[in-house]
Amino acid sequence: MGKVYLIGAGPGAADLITVRGARLLGEAQVVLHDALVSPEMLAWCPQAQLIEVGKRCGQRSTAQLFINRQIIDQARKQDRVVRLKGGDPMLFGRADEELQALEEAGIEYEIVPGITAALAAASAIRKPLTKRGVARSVAFATQAKAADTIDVEADVKADTVVYYMGRDQAASIAAQLIAHGKPASTPAWVVEAATSAHQRSRQFTLRQMAAGEAATWIDPAQPSLLMIGEALASRASEAVPQDVDGGVAYGETRAA
């Protein structure tokens, strides 16, 4: 019986995987990978059999129980099996279900962390998630598909909040945050496909996002994050953003 490695592929760029992760990919016999893992990332494992088992929001995807079975089946046939996940395996990656399945099957495993999208997105827009005297707490959140509301009470308490998989609920999320006391002037960024060739980002205010302006800009084909908080405001040393749409200022960035 083989060993399974749960490896974080990072946010997108192939050279942002850890050295350990890249080494283990190069030794793997089978790699079961998420849909968002890029072809450039898979170039680290040309010798391996590749099995796509990923999920994409709003699209037909592989059931988790079937993924669990595939991982176990491969581990019973091969010595080195990699389960390659976008970002970090332990954040919004359903790792607990896969670890439970491996433990019940008596299969040895190792977890290799990766850079999660929120950290990559903060670097992409050159805005720290924390800031002395402004923001000392950060929340990473996601909205369950079955729910029409978010846990606003918890999210409002965080100085900076980052929503994964919040693209389709951007206006609703912003409106609820405002209704529960978050200032409507709070900076609210959308960052798409951070660190990839398709990366782009745009700053709004929470008021603009609640009005649906972010929804009209977001590309539904790209993974995106909503990033909200005063730490994400423009610095005095930055170039002054142009006034657009009736004098409302925001910034936009793209990958180099």
Catalytic residues: 34, 55, 165
Task: Tell me which residue of 68, 177, 51, 19 sits closest to 7, measured CA to CA.
Answer: 19
- C-alpha 176/C-alpha 174 separation (Å) is 5
Count the neighbouring beta carbons within 10 Å of the beta carbon of residue 147: 9
- Classify strands 30-33 and 243-244 as parallel, antiparallel or unpaired: unpaired
Angle between helices 95-104 and 64-77 (to 10 degrees): 40
- Alpha-carbon distances of 99 from 72, 83, 108, 152, 222, rounded to whole Å: 11, 11, 10, 30, 28
Residue carrying the six token digits 């995106």: 224
What 3-state class would DSSP assign to 71?
Answer: helix
Task: Tell me which residue of 208, 214, 195 sits closest to 254, measured CA to CA.
Answer: 195
Residue carrying the six token digits 């790209």: 222
What 3-state class would DSSP assign to 64?
Answer: helix
- If phi > 0 it is left, if psi is from -120 to 50 it is alpha, else beta; for residue 73 that is alpha
What 3-state class would DSSP assign to 83?
Answer: strand
